[in-house]
A and B are shown apart, each in its own frame.
Chain A
Amino acid sequence: MADWVWSNVVVALLLMGTGGVVFYARRSRMWTETFSDLWRRRRFAVLVIGFYVLVALLDSVAWVGGMDQGEDTVARYEAQSILDRLFAGSQERSYSAPFADVEFYGGAPLTHPGAHILGTDLIGRDVLYLSLKGARVALLIGGLTSLLAIPLALLFGISAGYFGGRIDDVVFFVMSTLASMPGLLLLIALIMVLGKSTVAVCFALAITGWVGFCRVVRGETFKLRELEYVSAARALGVSEFGIIVRHILPNLMHLVIITFVLMFSGLVLSEAILSWLGIGVDGSWGQMIDQARNELSRDPIVWWNIVSAGLALFGLILAVNFVGDALRDTLDPRTLRETE
């Protein structure tokens, strides 16, 4: 089966999974109240995130054929996403300013005068198109890395916190070792070893990013395992695995949600830094910023590439942080106590 079919299947599964989670959450009073509170307090941020998700979906659903690719005959055999189809044939030769009719240097007429809302880059690609395509990469980096890091942190954190003893010693030793290494250098070394693919970058970010959350989970589990209902379950002969799955894990979910949201923005920013260092992911906003690094010192200045990528990055991070803060206010018992 072709790659693009798999990609569409994954998108479909993700959508179904999200639908399932929403359906499950609607049955829980706590989650319903949490999300209605979030919607009430951070409506605009939620809408912004929704927009990014929509754009990412438009760039994820792809198929082959059904469009004229002009001179690019290879593209006829490649899966094109909805976003690719919307911007097909928007290519120019080189830089053009937003809404310009002519090239920025030299003044040659454009193929699509006035059509490039955010201008075009050095090799004539539409900057709006590139900025929108960056959303998928950002969500992939943030989402996939969190999906790798959080289970890892939960596994080690709960094991250490619940069982203690030697297991705790080993986990704590691993955490301390990783925490003592300079994060960025470790990240660069891992990417050098693993390669520069999207999955490799996510994996490297996950390896360096799970420690902080693991420490929180470990501490929280220490507390939970001493509570009466856990002791009662143990006295009733419930297995350790059963206690963890039924009593410990559900009580950590608010932490998972908060961490996921806050970790997400950190990861997107980390990828931008990696791209700046030349080891990021193709098509990311970080790569756009890196490609445009000399443009601000040009004379006359080319500003639209870096500004567009920077604003796209800023918009997502800000919205996610707003939502993350709101979720923490709602879900974190400590902040609840403070607000009460």
Chain B
Amino acid sequence: MKSLAKRFSKRALFLFVLLVLACTNNPYPDADSDKKILYRSYVEAPRTLDPAVAYTTNAHAITGEVYDTLLEYHYLKRPYELIPALAAALPEVMTLNDGWTSYRFEMRKGLLYQNDPCFELDGPGHLTREVVMEDVAFELMRLADPEVNSPIVEPMSNIQGFQDFSARLMARREADPAFSEQPLPLQYAEVGPIEGAKVEGRYTLTLRVSTEYPQILYWFAMPFTAPVPWEAVEYYDGDEGRPSFSDHPVGAGPYVLSEYDKQSRFVLEANPNWYGVLHPEWKAPAATYPSEGAPGDFEAGRLDPEMVGQPLPFIERIEFSREKESIPLFNKFLQGYYDAAGVIKESFDKVIHEGGLSDSMEESGISLEKSVQPSIFYIGFNMDDATVGSEGGERSRKLRQAMSLVVDTDEYTRLFSNGRGVSAQSPLPPGLFGYDPEYVNPYRLIDLERARELLAEAGYPDGIDPETGRPLELTFDTQDTSAQGRLRFEFFTRAWRQLGINVKIEATNYNQFQEKVRNGAYQLFMWGWIADYPDPENFLFLLSSEMSRSVSDGPNTANFQNPEYDELYLEMKGLPNGPRRQEVIGEMLGILEEERPWIELTHSEAYSLFHKWLKNVKTMGMSTPMTKYRDLDHGLRAQKREAWNRPVLWPIYVGSALVVALVIPGIFTFMRERQ
């Protein structure tokens, strides 16, 4: 019995030591360490990957890689610039006399879709087929199809006959139930094309778009308008074990979704059929690393001569793993198991020091990339209100100007966003045409004395309302009822208390707040806007009369209505980027500066962390993935991972010794007693 126990304890000890030595925290197979694989994370799987519907950043992280578009943004240049992608060149634009503008797109010849079983519908053994303009027209028809429920119907309605197609389709479906049972391409063919989307031959598409909406081009740089093969929509119907089309994207982009487990992992593999791989000799602008960029790109190593002109993509695989919690995600990034991460607020002060990386992070070879997002956060005045709105004329204008002069945005971002955010001087964020970095809004400076003077001129000396003899009372309506939200609003109300204005926070739930907005029963509110595309129109329309909440239930919640501004807006909207457009934008901003329907707060700023081995990193601000431009040094990554994750074994040895010291005598005692 004694020898048995001895043999058992020896075996257990051997197994334990073997386990300890074999232990590693590397979540990936060793064989992958010498491959160019980008490791990323996600919190929640996208609801849909249908490019006509998907409108979230996490969905675009996949659809943006799988579906290539006719146009895309230049990777490095700022302000943002459109370049041809699947299109052979930027479209020819021709202004027609009848209020329409024509855009003629030419597609590259010889483009192929990714290999996919759905192409068997074209004939046995077919794995792919050529991308043609009919596929773009098909996708436009899907956008117009009410059953698809695309979120971009409103801007696309600027295409001639878009709404008409939608109405015809619905009428036909209602009239003939058998029609609805037919495949979509047949339904669309029977109803007839969208009048303003004319396909000529296999590679030409001419769009007729309202002259007032030249911004339509930006939508052709987003997956919504990417060519989609009808075969995929038909084949992936969710029946007979096939996934639905919303879970199985089939595109002509640089990557292919090869694994899609919503609960744990997505894998994107480089697409061997992508034109950048098949035809590097084309030197297509969206398939070759750019030779030009914005100031600072060269210094940041993004215009490395070895890289310039190289065919894309550099990275062969992208693996997304699910990380529900931010702290484990960040720890894995620090261990080298993710190549990039955001800065989590819990560790912000450890990671960031005085706007840059802390010494410990820099020593680890981590880089910080800051990018201002095309967004604006602001406090708005309800211009329909008798006290703060247009009705009050000069009195109200001076009141708004005075209130604007005491809101310290720098302090606000310091306290509530860890300093992330650029103080806004106008609605236009950096990176957009019309943004002037030298422009300082005189009413966004902090000047308490001037504010008090203005308030006195407005008829509220020391903030006293002459009607009541007490401090002027206003309400700040918000849908944020949280305790943290209250602190945020108290920051503003405290600033206005310095002027003698008593602003009361009215925090209600979302529905009650919407009710107030519908009834116009609000004075001040806080709101934000994130651009769909990088054009000043996408910000300045927020203050046009036609978008006024009280008129059309539009996003102009301030109900700002100024005929001069509207006139300039209409002119600006139709102008190409150039001196005249800049001049018009300047005049519009001048009106906003004086009228103060908003107190502009911040343009939000994203901080991203990258390991040194990840190259050519430049964040886009918008949800436009550009992984094909990135590269990585997997050798350096493997080295660093090994160095950062060497197991610290002594606590295990000490622990094991303690266990042995305590347990083994116990086992012997137990056995002795049994005997």
Contacts and interface: CB of A to CB of B under 8 A. Distances in A.
Nearest to B490: A123
Nearest to A104: B349
A299 B349 contact: yes
Interface in B498-540: 498-502, 507, 509
A73 B486 contact: no
A297 B497 CA distance: 32
Nearest to A284: B483
B349 A298 contact: yes
B261 interface: no
A93 B411 CA distance: 9
A278 B507 CA distance: 11
Interface stretch (A177-185, A226-234, A246-254, A287-295): A287-295
Contact of B502 (A74, A278, A287, A288): A74
A298 B471 CA distance: 39
Contacts of A71: 497-498
A275 B484 CA distance: 11
A122 B346 contact: no
Given A72-B498, A73-B497, A278 B483 contact: yes
Given A122-B487, A123-B487, A73 B349 contact: no
A278 B484 CA distance: 9
Contact of A72 (B327, B345, B486, B497): B497
Contacts of B507: 196
B481 interface: yes
Interface string A266-302: 0000000001001110100001101101100111100
B470 A77 contact: yes
B415 A94 contact: yes
A299 B482 contact: no
B500 A73 contact: yes
A192 B481 CA distance: 11
B97 interface: no
A299 B441 CA distance: 36
Interface string B467-506: 0001100000000011110110011001001111110000
A75 interface: yes
B497 A75 contact: yes
Nearest to A289: B483
Contact of A278 (B414, B482, B498): B482
B654 to A, nearest CB: 29
A297 B507 CA distance: 27
Given A75-B497, A77-B471, A290 B482 contact: yes
Contacts of B462: 73
Contacts of A287: 483, 486
B347 interface: yes
Interface residues of B, number: 32
Contacts of B345: 294, 298
B349 to A, nearest CB: 6
B500 A278 contact: no
A279 B507 CA distance: 10
B501 A74 contact: yes
Nearest to B507: A196
Contacts of A122: 415-416, 487
A241 to B, nearest CB: 44
A74 B471 contact: yes
B242 interface: no
Nearest to A297: B346
A280 B416 CA distance: 22
Contacts of A297: 327, 346
Nearest to A73: B500
B349 A196 contact: no
A73 B463 contact: yes
B484 A299 contact: no
Contacts of A192: 509
Contacts of A300: 349-350
A73 B471 contact: yes
Contact of A290 (B347, B471, B483): B483
Interface string A13-55: 0000000000000000000000000000000000000000000
B608 to A, nearest CB: 19
Given A72-B497, A278-B483, A300-B350, 7 more contacts: A72-B498, A73-B500, A77-B502, A122-B416, A122-B487, A291-B483, A299-B346
7 contacts: A72-B494, A73-B463, A73-B500, A123-B415, A280-B483, A287-B483, A287-B486
Pick the 8 closest A-B CB pairs, nearest first: A290-B483, A297-B346, A73-B500, A291-B483, A299-B350, A74-B497, A74-B502, A278-B482
